[in-house]
Amino acid sequence: MFKLIENRPLVPNLHMLRVEAPEVARSVQPGQFVIVRVEEDGERIPLSVADWDSEQGTITLIYMTIGATTHRLSRLPAGDGLPTVAGPLGNAMEIDHFGSVVCVGGCYGIGSIYPIARALREIGNTVTIIIEARSSYLLYWQEKLKQVSDRLIVITRDGSGGLKGHIDNLPAIIERLPQRPQRVIANGCNFLMMRASEQTRPLAIPTIVSLNTLMIDGTGMCGVCRVTVDDTVKFACVDGPHFDGHKVDWAELNKRRQAYLREETIPLRSSAGTAEQ
Partner 1 sequence: MAETAPKKLDLQRRPMPKQEPEVRSQNFDEVALGYTPELAMEEARRCLMCKRPQCVPHCPVEVDIPGFIHCIAEGDFSGGVRILKGKNALPSICGRVCPQEEQCEGSCVLAKRGGTIAIGRLERFLGDWASAQEQQSIDLPTPTGKRVAVIGGGPAGLTVAADLVQLGHEVVIYEALHKMGGVLVYGIPEFRLPKKTVETEVDYLRRLGVEMKPDYIVGKTRTIDSLLEEFDAVFVGAGAGLPWFSEMPGNNLNGVYSANEYLTRINLMKGFSFPKTITPVREHQRVAVIGGGNVAMDCARSALRLGARSTILYRRSRDELPARLEEVENAEEEGVEFSFLTLPTRCVGDDNGWVKGLECIRMELGEPDASGRRSPMPVEGSEYFLPFDAVIHAIGNSPNPLIPATTPDIEIGRKGNIVADEATGKTSKPRVWAGGDVVTGAATVILAMGAGRKAARSIHEYLSNPGSEW
Give the footprint of ligand FES on this chain (CB under 6 A): 215-218, 220-225, 235, 237
Contacted entry of partner 1, ligand FES, none for residue 263, CB cut-off 5 to 8 Å set by kind: partner 1
Residues in touch with partner 1 (CB under 8 A): 23-24, 27, 35, 37, 41-44, 68-69, 83-89, 216-217, 219-224, 226-228, 233, 238, 252, 255-256, 258-260, 263-264, 266-267, 270
Contacted entry of partner 1, ligand FES, none for residue 215, CB cut-off 5 to 8 Å set by kind: ligand FES
Least Å distance between CB 174 and ligand FES? 33
DSSP-derived 3-state class of residue 215: coil
Cα radius of gyration rounded to whole Å, the chain: 18
Q: Which residues of 162-194 are buried (b: 16+ CB within 10 A; e: fewer)?
A: beeebbebbeebbeeeeeebbbbbbbbebebbb
Q: 88 φ, ψ to 5°?
A: -75, 140
Q: Measured from the CB atom, is 24 or 139 closer to partner 1?
A: 24
Contacted entry of partner 1, ligand FES, none for residue 42, CB cut-off 5 to 8 Å set by kind: partner 1
Least Å distance between CB 116 and partner 1? 18
The CA-to-CA distance between both ends of the chain, in Å, stands at 27
Contacted entry of ligand FES, partner 1, none for residue 179, CB cut-off 5 to 8 Å set by kind: none
Q: Measured from the CB atom, is 119 or 236 closer to ligand FES?
A: 236
- Specify the DSSP class assigned to residue 76: P
Least Å distance between CB 64 and partner 1? 16
Contacts with 222 (C-beta within 8 Å, 6 or more apart), sequence order: 215, 216
Q: Measured from the CB atom, is 159 or 223 closer to ligand FES?
A: 223
Whether cis (ω within 30° of 0) applies to the bond prior to 88 is yes
Neighbours of 265 (CB within 10 A): 14
57 contacts 99 by C-beta, under 8 angstroms: no
Contacted entry of partner 1, ligand FES, none for residue 260, CB cut-off 5 to 8 Å set by kind: partner 1
